[in-house]
């Protein structure tokens, strides 16, 4: 049946790891009652797939194989454009955010301020004209000094009060404290000049700069088993990349301790044993307690669903759908829910509320019942992967290799929880949020190849079945060298490095500096008045337009560039579920751009809190929660920072953020590195604007910020100075460097810290000044 949405608006940004239930006894249950509204009659199909999987006794438990069920994190319903339509099932009307100005005239406007005035007015008009969006007139502004905010906003390059509220941006109350998510409802539409569904380029490496990034990136897969729950094995994946490596042992022919960066919400899937209890950051599994909570939540979930079904049936909202002639629609003999009636009939409200509460609790219990990690897999493309060639998915591309690690080889070295000395209670007004701490969705894992007991690599080959080979790998050093593509022996200038600047600082310079690029086009044929010939043209463009490279491994099912999709066999479609597609931030239609360099920042109005700096934003203002202010981001119960001054499990997103053009990969791309064309690592991808890649928005966390002084525009709040890798911010408490010092000692040396981790290299030390807006 066609999905019916309770809401037409996306609930803020979403986290985007991909979760694959492998041999779950309750796989069918979430499908049965989930409010994405498929209906419970899908359970037969799911059970049939379960039987197929059960027959495969030789497979590795927890290893994503072709055909595995994929459950992407719940993200709310697909998003509508602001206004009264977009395309496809969302309607055929005109996108109401398009200004009444032709693109040529718009592009000729003298500066960003003039452009902002035109497109912001149209964007806000589109929000207000949406029938499903709350009206500004319903918002109680008496707790705010609107006139003062508007004066301060104008002086500080910020949106007006009304515009901020309609976008659900944080605003200060009369006491000078921020009200986070003041509107409690956020609609995010794509930029009006974007090509629909241009969320990036799939399975295509356009140039050597992306090839370097590919060679330093991995899909990381955590296989977890809870022995206290029968057949409860799951695999979770994200994207990770080389950040650093140890140089403390001069006798090693090649480094064996490597440090890979990813998102904290990806690393949280690493469930450890008791041997990791003394690590600075650990996530110790308690299978028995997890199983007990899971069973209680499952029982209430099933009970609430059955109650919902009974109540709906009594009111005629759970029946076999019939045509006007009384014939079952599509020949179905199974009843279906009439969700539109269910959500509009007040008699159903208590039953829906009970079910939604139970569903949320069950989903949380499922996420928390993973048990212990039994194996970790790194999946990557080989160094000789070709450029400018349409690649395949990870399950059948001959360039892909899988490296299996024992969990005892891996540590959580750093997690960006509570990384500042300041407290949100000093600047946050919301009663349910003010006592939380901030977090950066950033983590670092240590991989110790010296603990490898086997040097096994699995290669995909289309001519043969998967096979194991040793490729003359005889020592841990050989193994580390092979897995990391000999990264440590690259010339220093070819190794990527964390930036010693932030994008906000250099934004204007990037917009002034020029880069020469070429692109293919056609011109009139001088020998044929009616003909065209291919030609290549060189042109100069602002560096900002081509400065950024991003690469990740989202789920293959979300690939909107599958050629000849109608010819995919059922087996092909099933195989996509456990596979990933390598993804880059280039337009899906490369004829519209150059395949040289990288690509630019997003001009989205939905996340722009600096009027004249498209693509840059402050997470505390734009997206501090993923729940429209209902709650913060929650880490697992047993995740801890040893000796931390605060033991809470709920956090607010914090940091300087930015968003890229042609970049909204979905599940599995969490943790993707973002670097510039000069090999400076500037950020890490952690969230998408919606669950259907319609908003064309991704949230990237900057690894470093010089801080921003808002001159009182946001009351008591200013963005703090921080560097998640090097530390040294004025009010910064933790960093990757400090975590290594705590784990080892100040003399511990790595590639990034050749003089020992007790020292911040001079070129990464802050000068104790804050950035301009």
- The verdict on residue 74 lying in a domain is no
Q: Checking phi first, is residue 547 left (phi over 0); if not, alpha (psi -120 to 50) or beta?
A: alpha
- Give 628's pLDDT tier (boundaries 50, 70, 90): confident
| Tokens 């899988």, residue located | 402
Please report whether residue 354 resides in a domain.
yes
Higher pLDDT, 675 or 129: 675
Residue 361 covered by a domain: yes
Asked if residue 303 is part of any domain, the answer here is: yes
Query: Is residue 561 over pLDDT 90?
Result: no
Q: How far is CA 652 from CA 296, 441, 626, 630, in A?
A: 29, 10, 9, 11
The residue-averaged pLDDT of 162-175 equals 97
The rounded distance, in Å, linking the Cα atoms of 480 and 169 is 46
Supply the DSSP symbol for 35. T
121 or 196, which is more confident: 121
Residue 385: the pLDDT is 96
Q: Please tell me what DSSP assigns to residue 597.
A: S
Q: Which domain holds residue 313?
A: 288-368
pLDDT in tens, 336-358: 888 888 988 899 999 998 998 89
The answer as to whether 464 is a domain residue is no
DSSP assignment of 528-552 equals: EEEEEEEEEEEEEEEGGGT-EEEEE
| Residues whose CB falls within 8 Å of the CB of residue 427, separated by 6 or more in sequence, listed in order | 176, 177, 178, 714, 715, 716, 717
**Lowest mean pLDDT, pick from 433-447, 449-463, 606-620:** 449-463
* Structure token digits, residue 741: 């010092």
| pLDDT band, very low/low/confident/very high, at 497 (cuts 50, 70, 90) | very high
Would you state the pLDDT for residue 228? 80
Q: Taking 90 as the threshold, does the pLDDT of residue 361 lie above it?
A: no
The CA dihedral of 734, 739, 740, 743, to the nearest 10 degrees, is 150
pTM score? 0.84
Number of residues in the chain = 773
Distance CA 298, CA 283 (A): 24
- The residues facing 379 across adjacent strands are 219, 402
**pLDDT above 60: residue 191:** yes
For 461-469, the CB contacts below 8 A with 24+ separation are: 461/398, 462/396, 462/398
Tell me if 637 is assigned to some domain. no
User: In total, how many domains does the chain have?
Assistant: 1
Q: What is the model's pLDDT at position 371?
A: 84
Task: Check whether 466 has a pLDDT greater than 60.
Answer: no
Q: What are the E-state strand segments in 252-317?
A: 257-262, 281-283
The pLDDT tens digits of the residues spanning 272-286 come to 988 999 999 999 987
Q: Give yes or no for residue 25 having a pLDDT over 60.
A: no
Query: DSSP character for 592?
Result: G
Q: What 3-state class would DSSP assign to 372?
A: strand
Does position 623 have pLDDT exceeding 50, yes or no?
yes
What does the alpha-carbon distance between residue 338 and residue 315 come to, in Å, rounded to a whole number?
10
Q: What is the pLDDT of residue 773?
A: 58
Of 627, 682, 683, 617, residue with least CA distance to 652: 627
Residue pair 458/380 in contact (Cβ under 8 Å)? The answer is no
373 inside domain: no
Partner residues linked to 690 by β-bridges: none
Residue 555 has pLDDT above 80, yes or no: yes
| Residue 158 confidence (pLDDT) above 90 | yes
What pLDDT score was predicted for residue 31?
37
Percent of residues, the chain, with pLDDT higher than 70: 83
User: Buried b / exposed e across 452-477, counting CB within 10 Å, b at 16+?
Assistant: beebebbbbeeeeeeeeeeeebebbb
Lowest mean pLDDT among 516-520, 654-658, 671-675, 679-683: 516-520
State phi, psi for 64 to the nearest 5 degrees: -60, 120
- Could you tell me the pLDDT band of residue 324, with boundaries at 50, 70 and 90? confident
Mean pLDDT for the chain overall = 84
Mention every residue, 6+ apart, whose C-beta is less than 8 A from residue 290: 226, 228, 229, 365, 368, 369, 370, 371
Q: Give me 87's structure tokens.
A: 């395309």
Q: How far apart are CA 15 and CA 686, in angstroms?
A: 6
Report the alpha-carbon distance of residue 48 to residue 26 in Å, rounded. Answer: 13
- Residue ranges with strand state E in 246-358: 257-262, 281-283, 318-319, 336-337
Burial 117-128 (b: 16+ CB within 10 A, else e): eebbebbbebbb
Residue 348 lies in a domain: yes
Q: What is the pLDDT of residues 89-139, one digit of tens each?
A: 233 345 678 888 888 899 899 999 999 999 999 999 988 887 767 788 889
Is the pLDDT reported for residue 571 higher than 90?
no
Q: What is the pLDDT of residues 283-317, one digit of tens each?
A: 998 777 777 888 899 899 999 999 999 999 999 89
């Amino acid at each position: 049946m066609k999905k019916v949405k309770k809401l037409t608006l996306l609930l803020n940004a979403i986290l985007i790891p991909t979760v694959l239930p492998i041999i779950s006894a309750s796989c069918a249950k979430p499908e049965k009652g989930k409010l994405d509204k498929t209906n419970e009659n899908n359970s037969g199909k799911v059970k049939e797939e379960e039987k197929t999987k059960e027959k495969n006794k030789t497979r590795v438990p927890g290893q994503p194989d072709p055909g595995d069920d994929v459950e992407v994190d719940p993200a709310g319903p697909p998003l509508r454009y602001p206004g009264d339509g977009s395309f496809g099932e969302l309607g055929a009307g005109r996108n109401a955010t398009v200004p009444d100005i032709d693109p040529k005239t718009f592009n000729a406007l003298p500066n960003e301020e003039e452009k902002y005035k035109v497109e912001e007015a149209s964007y806000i008009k589109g929000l207000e004209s949406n029938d499903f969006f709350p009206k500004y007139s319903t918002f109680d502004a008496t707790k705010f000094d609107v006139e003062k905010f508007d004066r301060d906003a104008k002086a500080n390059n910020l949106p007006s009060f009304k515009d901020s509220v309609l976008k659900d941006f944080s605003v200060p109350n009369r006491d000078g404290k921020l009200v986070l998510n003041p509107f409690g409802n956020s609609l995010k539409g794509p930029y009006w000049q974007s090509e629909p569904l241009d969320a990036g380029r799939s399975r295509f490496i356009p140039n050597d700069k992306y090839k370097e990034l590919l060679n330093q990136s991995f899909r990381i897969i955590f296989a977890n088993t809870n022995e206290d729950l029968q057949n409860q094995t799951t695999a979770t994946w994200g994207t990770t990349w080389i950040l650093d490596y140890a140089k403390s042992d001069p006798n090693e022919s090649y480094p064996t301790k490597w440090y890979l960066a990813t998102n904290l919400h990806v690393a949280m899937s690493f469930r450890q044993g008791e041997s990791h209890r003394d690590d600075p950051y650990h996530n110790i599994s308690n299978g028995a307690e997890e199983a007990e909570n899971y069973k209680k939540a499952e029982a209430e979930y099933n009970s609430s669903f059955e109650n919902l079904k009974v109540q709906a049936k009594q009111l005629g909202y759970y029946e076999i759908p019939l045509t006007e002639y009384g014939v079952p629609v599509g020949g179905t003999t199974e009843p279906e829910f009439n969700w539109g009636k269910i959500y509009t009939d007040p008699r159903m409200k208590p039953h829906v509320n009970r079910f939604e509460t139970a569903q949320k609790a069950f989903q949380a219990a499922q996420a928390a019942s993973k048990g212990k990690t039994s194996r970790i897999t790194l999946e990557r493309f080989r160094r000789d992967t070709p450029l400018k060639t349409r690649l395949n998915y990870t399950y059948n591309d001959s360039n892909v290799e899988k490296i299996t690690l024992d969990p005892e080889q891996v540590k959580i070295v750093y997690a960006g929880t509570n990384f500042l000395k300041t407290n949100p209670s000093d600047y946050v007004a919301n009663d349910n949020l003010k006592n939380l701490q901030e977090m950066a969705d950033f983590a670092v894992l240590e991989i110790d190849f010296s603990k490898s007991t086997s040097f096994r690599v699995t290669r995909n080959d289309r001519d043969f079945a998967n096979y194991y080979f040793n490729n003359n790998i005889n020592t841990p050093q050989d193994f580390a060298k092979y897995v990391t593509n000999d990264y440590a022996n690259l010339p220093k200038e070819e190794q990527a490095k964390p930036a010693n600047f932030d994008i906000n600082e250099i934004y204007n310079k990037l917009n002034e500096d020029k880069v020469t690029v070429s692109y293919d086009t056609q011109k009139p044929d001088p020998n044929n008045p009616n003909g065209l010939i291919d030609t290549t043209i060189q042109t100069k463009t602002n560096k900002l337009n081509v400065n950024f490279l991003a690469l990740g491994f989202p789920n293959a099912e979300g690939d909107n560039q599958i050629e000849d999709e109608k010819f995919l066999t059922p087996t092909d479609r099933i195989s996509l579920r456990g596979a990933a597609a390598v993804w880059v931030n280039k337009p899906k239609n490369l004829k519209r751009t150059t395949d040289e360099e990288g690509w630019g920042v997003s001009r989205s109005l939905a996340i722009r809190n600096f009027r004249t700096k498209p693509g840059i934003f402050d997470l505390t203002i734009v997206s501090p929660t993923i729940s429209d202010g209902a709650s913060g981001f929650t880490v697992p119960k047993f995740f801890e920072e040893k000796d931390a001054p605060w033991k809470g499990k709920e956090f607010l997103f914090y940091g300087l953020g930015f968003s890229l053009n042609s970049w909204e990969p979905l599940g599995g791309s969490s943790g993707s590195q973002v670097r510039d064309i000069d090999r400076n690592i500037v950020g890490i991808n952690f969230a998408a604007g919606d669950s259907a890649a319609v908003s064309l928005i991704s949230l990237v966390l900057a690894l470093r910020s010089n801080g921003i002084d808002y001159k009182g525009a946001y009351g008591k709040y200013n963005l703090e100075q921080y560097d998640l890798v090097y530390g040294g911010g004025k009010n910064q408490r933790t960093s990757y460097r400090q975590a290594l010092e705590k784990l080892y000692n100040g003399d511990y040396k790595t590639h990034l810290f050749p003089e020992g981790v007790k020292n911040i290299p001079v070129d990464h030390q802050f000068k104790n000044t804050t950035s301009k807006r």
